[in-house]
Amino acid sequence: MSFTQTTRLNKAGYFAFLSKDNLIETNAPEDIVSLVNASQYIARNLLGTTPIMVTSGSEIMVDANNPPQSLLYCCKALPSDVMITTNNLRSAFVILNDSELYNIDIGIDTQSAYTLAPGQMILIVTSPYKTSITPNYFIFEGVIPYGWTAEDMSLKVGKGDEVRISTGDTMVQSAITEVNLPGYEQFSFFSINGKFFPSAIDSAYTVTDPDLGLIPASLRYLLIVPVLPYNEFVDRDGVYAGVPIYQIDLLNGVTISQEWNANQPNKSTLSFKKDAGFNEEIAVPIYVE
């Protein structure tokens, strides 16, 4: 490595989310950049936590003095109360309704905020911005944290096919978008209908849209989100150092490998490679203009 004045020695981590919907079509960019703050909270506080199984009649109470103890609250039955108080609480966690029968009312700041249908899963981000007081939370439907890895996560858009034109020059026809994404599973286990699903992107995470036919799940969009240095957060204006959030349409071209080793976290590696026109939007940057 040659040292020049452009060489930066700081590390840059990335976190990945999977989404059922095309977030840039359903949410404002100002909302989506809050995932930068959510990823920092998850990566530093909730990575590797064991899911909490919520049984009938129990309560989920989350506030600044009682921050979430797990990335995933998996409701096996109808809890007696779900109440989240966002004041001074910076967090991000997932609630899954695995009850099959009940609609679960989720209260945020003493008000009923969301009704979670059976099989549905939401990501709740509280205090989504660095300084803005409002909104004090976001709910992302069908979005799950996929994983954070130290070394191998990569996104590359490189040159694809070239064609020789009559002048003898070559023109570029396509670009190859490649993603390599090893994820250590945060959601290490839970069961639906008596079956155990150990995979981070198994059909257990699908909501109600099996028609998309993607891999084994309907989580079609991948979001690669930068993790800012400790205690640095992005505000509603979306200004932060680094790269934008990249949303990648995973339709076609995905392969997944999974590894299980005794006494090691389960690991899923998502690989995506697609050759498409260089002006097609496979990897879409998301940023607040």
Q: How many residues does the chain have?
A: 289
Instruction: Produce one character per residue of 174-209: b if its CB has 16 or more CB atoms within 10 Å, e if not.
Output: bbbbbbebbbbbbbbebebeeeebbbbbbebbbbee
Backbone angles phi, psi at 24, to 5 degrees: -70, -20
Of the candidate residues 84, 153, 200, 222, the single one contacting another protein (CB under 8 A)? 153
Nearer to another protein among residue 5 and residue 261 (C-beta): 5
Counting contacts by CB under 8 A, is residue 157 touching another protein?
A: yes
Positive or negative: CA dihedral 11, 259, 223, 193: negative
Counting contacts by CB under 8 A, is residue 278 touching another protein?
A: yes
Counting contacts by CB under 8 A, is residue 288 touching another protein?
A: yes
Counting contacts by CB under 8 A, is residue 283 touching another protein?
A: yes
The span of 8-16, 49-57, 205-213, 261-269 binding another protein (CB under 8 A) equals: 8-16
Counting contacts by CB under 8 A, is residue 13 touching another protein?
A: yes
d(CA 86, CA 36): 18
Of the candidate residues 28, 44, 100, 156, the single one contacting another protein (CB under 8 A)? 156
Nearer to another protein among residue 61 and residue 172 (C-beta): 172
Contact 36, 234 (CB under 8 A): yes
Q: How far is the CB of 68 from another protein (least distance, A)?
A: 25
d(CA 40, CA 190): 25
Of the candidate residues 81, 172, 210, 259, the single one contacting another protein (CB under 8 A)? 172
Which residues in the 225-254 window bind another protein by CB under 8 A? Answer: 226, 238-246
Contact 183, 224 (CB under 8 A): no
CB-CB neighbours of 215 under 10 Å: 18
Contact 219, 18 (CB under 8 A): yes
Counting contacts by CB under 8 A, is residue 183 touching another protein?
A: no
Of the candidate residues 1, 101, 133, 262, the single one contacting another protein (CB under 8 A)? 1
Nearer to another protein among residue 79 and residue 182 (C-beta): 182
Residue numbers at the binding site for another protein (CB under 8 A): 1-8, 11-14, 149-159, 168-172, 224, 226, 238-246, 278-279, 283, 285, 287-289
